[in-house]
Amino acid sequence: MSEEPLFTFGVIADIQYADLDDGMNFARTRKRFYRNSLQLLRNARESWCGSAVQPEFVLQLGDVIDGFNSQHDASRSALDAVLSEFRSSSLEVHHVWGNHEFYNFSRQELLSSELNSSLHVHRRLREPRPGGDVYAYSFSPYPGFCFVVLDAYDVSLLGLERESEQYQRALSLIQKHNPHEDLNSPPCPTASDRFVGRFTKFNGGFSQEQLDWLDALLSCADDKQEKVTIVSHLPVHPDSTDPVCLSWNYSALLQLLHTHPSVVLFMAGHDHDGGYHWDRPSGVHHLTVEGVIETPPDSDAFGTVCVYRDRWS
């Protein structure tokens, strides 16, 4: 097809860089290439920068460095290594926060760090933003198109002081569903909730405040007949991921997507195997992007999305 795209953007997920030898995932079914993930990021950056038309921006879908860094006192150096790679180009990067961000940094540290893209990307940021410590914002890279970065952990046990009210509220919620002492261990599916395995400490939920903000934002986008893409570290459609990776309150988010015709695409990371589902009733494409960390060194794991007026590829 000869028609030029309106714009393009890059996507990359679960880089989980650490200056460590290769290891395995928790279930010992997949190898993790901690050190080489930086090289795969470099390959992605070179491809984006070398393309005839540079992407307008890149979406980094969370877990940019691995939690193991904190045990080796290497959180800052690992983050510097990854951010230097991004910085060595003029690409505008939008960082999403995943569980591994919180294994390395507190929410307060993240809010004032370079991983808070809303502090650095002023050009096309939209107001209003949700209040408090919620890390969510929207931007418009091209007339008629809107992108929303969501905070998949603003209800969670991660990045908070145990004594805080937010932590205690999230603890009560997860304990209602997860009977295990180790809250990272997923509960078994039940007749009333096939996907109850999502109630683990490595997942989280969207606060009502964030959902209300998103609802208002999408109503506005519906009125303007915009096309909206939403990104979050955690997937929200059970058919686009291993259900153990779903957001705690994925159904509340899905309900919103069903009432707002402006939404065309929901992208997430977290499930390193990736996944895809087209939700026919809402028309929304749910894409879970494969993780860099479990991609062998002789391969690549990034995407370049070409956006046309009536489709994307």
Ligand X SMILES: Nc1ncnc2c1ncn2[C@@H]1O[C@H](COP(=O)(O)OP(=O)(O)O)[C@@H](O)[C@H]1O
Interaction site with ligand X (CB under 6 A):
25-26, 63, 99-100, 182, 184-186, 202, 270
In angstroms, the Cα distances linking 132 to 107, 145, 150, 229, 296 are 12, 26, 14, 23, 40
241, 206 Cβ separation under 8 angstroms: no
Q: C-beta of 80: minimal distance to ligand X in Å? A: 21
CB of 269 to ligand X, least distance (A): 9
Angle, alpha carbons 284-289-293 (nearest 5°): 165
Q: How far is the CB of 226 from ligand X (least distance, A)?
A: 32
Of the pair 144, 296, the CB lying nearest ligand X is at: 296
Is the dihedral angle over the CA atoms 231, 14, 187, 158 positive or is it negative? negative
Shortest reach from residue 202's CB to ligand X, in Å? 4
Q: Of 45 and 100, which CB lies nearer to ligand X in the complex structure? A: 100
Closer CB to ligand X, residue 106 or residue 185? 185
The residue among 6 and 196 lying less far from ligand X, judged by its C-beta, is: 196
Alpha helices in the chain (DSSP H): 37-50, 68-71, 75-87, 99-104, 107-111, 165-177, 208-223, 250-259
Residue closest to ligand X (Cβ): 184
Q: Which is nearer to ligand X, 270 or 286 (CB)?
A: 270
| Contacts of 293 by beta carbon, 8 Å cutoff, 6+ apart | 14, 15, 16, 32, 33, 34, 37, 63, 66, 272
Nearer to ligand X, 122 or 162 (CB): 162
Smallest gap, in angstroms, from Cβ of residue 109 to ligand X?
A: 19
Beta-ladder partners of 227: 145
What's the Cα-to-Cα distance from 25 to each of 22, 33, 34, 45, 66, rounded to whole Å? 10, 10, 11, 26, 12
CB of 166 to ligand X, least distance (A): 20
End-to-end CA distance of the chain: 11
